[in-house]
Amino acid sequence: MTSTTPVDKKSPRRGVISDGPVRVGYLRDFDLVGLNNAAVDDEQATKNRLLVAAVKLFADRGYEASSMRELAAEVGVKAPAIYNHFDSKTQVLSTAVDYALSDFLANVLTGLEEFPKQEQLFELLRRHARYKTNDVALARAQDKLVDADFMRRVLPPASYDRYTAALAGYRAIVRDLVIAAAPEAQSDEAVNLPVLVSALIEMVDRVSSWFRPDGSLTGDEIADQCVVIARRIVEP
Amino acid sequence: MTSTTPVDKKSPRRGVISDGPVRVGYLRDFDLVGLNNAAVDDEQATKNRLLVAAVKLFADRGYEASSMRELAAEVGVKAPAIYNHFDSKTQVLSTAVDYALSDFLANVLTGLEEFPKQEQLFELLRRHARYKTNDVALARAQDKLVDADFMRRVLPPASYDRYTAALAGYRAIVRDLVIAAAPEAQSDEAVNLPVLVSALIEMVDRVSSWFRPDGSLTGDEIADQCVVIARRIVEP
C-alpha cells in the first residue's frame, strides 16, 4: 500500500469491525488500533513497513538477537529515523502484535452478521483459512512470534493483557457461533465444546504451515475444503 | 530417567519401531538414532539432559542468541565438558531434532500393526494427541523450534534432509491409514486427501498449544475426544 492509496472504507482488510451481534460482548473494548494504520501518508506507510519487517525479522533471527539498527536497514531507513516511529524494540513488538491481531480480526469478523446466524461459523472459518494463505511468509512469521510464553515474557503487562483478551474474545465468538450452528454441541458428551472449538480453530489456523502457493490448490479452494470438514465435525 | 533406570525393551517410549506394515516403505531408512539414547550410563544421561535443555533454551531465547556456555549452565555441567558430547551448537541442534523425532515416531508407531487395519489411523491420532500433552512445556518448545524455514537455514543439509524425510514419511503413513479406514477418501471430490490428512495431523499436533495440565480434562480424555472428531471427519 502506498501513500497515494485511498482508504477504502468498505474494504474488509482495512475496514472497521461493525458493532453488530458478532462482536458485542467480547471484542467491543478491543480498539483495533491497527486499523487506524491505513497508509494515509508517507509517515504511516513507513511505520507500516517497519511493523511488517519487524515481524519477519523477529521471527527469523529471534527477538533478542534483533536490533533496531537491523530493522531500520531492512526497510531502508536510517537507524536514528526509526525512533521517530517507535521508542523501543518492545514498543515495535507490541505495536506489531496489535497491528497483526487487528488486521486479522477485521478481516475475519467484518460484516459477518450479514450471513444467516447458523452460517456465520463456517464463513468465519473460511475467512480464517483464507487469511492464512494470503501472505504465507508473513503468516508463518506471525505464527512463530505469537507464542504465549514468549509474549508473556517480553510484552509490557498491559499489552500482553490486550493480546490474551483478544484471543479469548475470538475463541468466545467461535464458541457462540458453534452453538448457533449446532445447539446440541453444548451438551455433546462425546466431545466437550472447548475441544471442538480448539479443533476448528487449529484446523484453519495451521493452514499456513502446510499451504504451498505453487501447489495444485488455491487458498480459496483450501478454505472451502476446510469448511466441508468443519461441517462434518459440527453437524455429524 | 536416571543412570540406574533399566532399559525397558517393551516400553513404547524407548522401544524400537517394529518393521511391521505400518513402517515399511516410508521410515525404514530412518534409523531412529534417538532411541539408542536410552540412559544406560551417566554419560548418556547427561547427553540426554543436554538435548532436552537445548530444545527449551533454543526455543526460549532463540537459537542464535543461545551459547554452549549457557546450555552447560542449564544442566549444571562445566562449559568445556559439553564438548565431550557435542562438537558444536549446530550438532546439538541436529541431534536434538533427531532425538525428538525418533522419540515421537517410536511413541506413535510402535505396535500399531497389532490394531485392526481400519482402526490404526485412530489409534495413531490418539497417541499423537496424548504425546503432545505428556510434557507440554517440552512439546511447546519443540513446536517453536521445529519450523521448516529455520531448520532449512540452520541445519546441515544431510540433517535437514533426514528431518524433512521423516515428516514426509509420517504424512505418508497417515495418508495410507486414512485410506485403510475410509477407502472412499481417495476419490472424495469435496475434500482432497492431502487437505484431509493435514487437518487430522494439525488437530492432534496442536493440542499442545491449548492443553492445560490443570484443566478439567486429562490428556487421555482430550486424545479420546480428538478421535471422536477424527471419526466424524473421516467417516462422514
Q: How confident is the model over B25-50, as pLDDT tens digits?
A: 566 655 555 544 555 677 888 888 89
* Closest-CA residue of chain A to B61: A64
Tell me the count of A-B CB pairs closer than 8 A: 89
Report d(CA B1, CA A236) in Å as an integer: 44
Q: Which residue has the higher pLDDT, A10 or B48?
A: B48
pLDDT at site A26: 63
Residue A64 has pLDDT above 90, yes or no: no
Residue B149 has pLDDT above 90, yes or no: no
pLDDT at site B20: 53
Give yes or no for B199 touching A (CB within 8 A).
yes
Residue A3 has pLDDT above 50, yes or no: no
Give yes or no for B63 touching A (CB within 8 A).
yes
Q: Which residue has the higher pLDDT, A114 or A24?
A: A114
Mean pLDDT of A154-161: 90
Q: Select the residue of B195, B202, B222 nearest A222 (Cβ to Cβ).
A: B195
Residue A8 has pLDDT above 50, yes or no: no
Vertex B148, ends A226 and A89: CA angle to 5°? 100
- Picking from B164, B32, B25, the residue whose alpha carbon sits closest to that of residue B102 is B32
Minimal C-alpha gap between B148 and chain A (Å): 9
Report d(CA A74, CA A51) in Å as an integer: 11
Mean pLDDT of A97-104: 86
Residue B110 has pLDDT above 60, yes or no: yes
- Expressed in percent and rounded to 5, the helix, strand and coil fractions of chain A are 70, 0, 30
Alpha-helical segments (H) within A110-156: 120-134, 136-145, 148-154
Mean pLDDT of B211-234: 96
Grid coordinates belonging to B182: 475410509
% of chain B surpassing 90 pLDDT = 50
- Per residue in B197-222, pLDDT (tens digit) is 999 999 999 999 999 999 999 999 99
- Hey, are the CB atoms on A190 and B147 less than 8 Å from each other? no
- Per residue in A45-61, pLDDT (tens digit) is 888 889 989 988 988 88
User: DSSP code of B180?
Assistant: H
Domain segments of chain A as ranges? 33-234
Residue B176 has pLDDT above 90, yes or no: yes
Largest separation between any pair of C-alpha atoms in chain A: 60
Sorted by sequence, the CB contacts under 8 Å of residue A207 that are 6+ apart come out as: A129, A132, A133, A219, A222, A223, A226, B198
Grid cell 532463540 is found at B62
- Hey, are the CB atoms on A65 and B60 less than 8 Å from each other? no
Mean pLDDT of A112-134: 96
Minimal C-alpha gap between B121 and chain A (Å): 17
pLDDT at site A6: 41
Q: How confident is the model at residue B99 (pLDDT cuts 50, 70, 90)?
A: confident
Q: Which of A164-173, A199-208, A215-224 has the lowest mean pLDDT?
A: A164-173
| Element containing residue A106 per DSSP (H, E) | helix A89-109
Q: Which of A156-165, B145-154, B176-185 has the lowest mean pLDDT?
A: B145-154
Contact B39, B2 (CB under 8 A): yes
pLDDT at site B235: 84
Report d(CA A108, CA A46) in Å as an integer: 25
> Cβ atoms within 10 A of the Cβ of A64, count?
15
As separate numbers, helices (DSSP H) first and strands (DSSP E) second, chain A gives: 10, 0
Residue B140 has pLDDT above 60, yes or no: yes
Q: Which residue has the higher pLDDT, A194 or B44?
A: A194
- Cα B24 from chain centre: 18
Report d(CA B62, CA A63) in Å as an integer: 8
Average pLDDT along chain A:
84
Report d(CA B224, CA A236) in Å as an integer: 17
* CATH classification code of B33-234: 1.10.357.10
Give yes or no for B158 touching A (CB within 8 A).
no
Report d(CA A230, CA A109) in Å as an integer: 18
Report d(CA A129, CA B14) in Å as an integer: 38
> Which 3 state secondary structure label does DSSP give A213?
coil
Q: Select the residue of B61, B140, B228 nearest A191 (Cβ to Cβ).
A: B228
Sorted by sequence, the CB contacts under 8 Å of residue B236 that are 6+ apart come out as: A232, A236
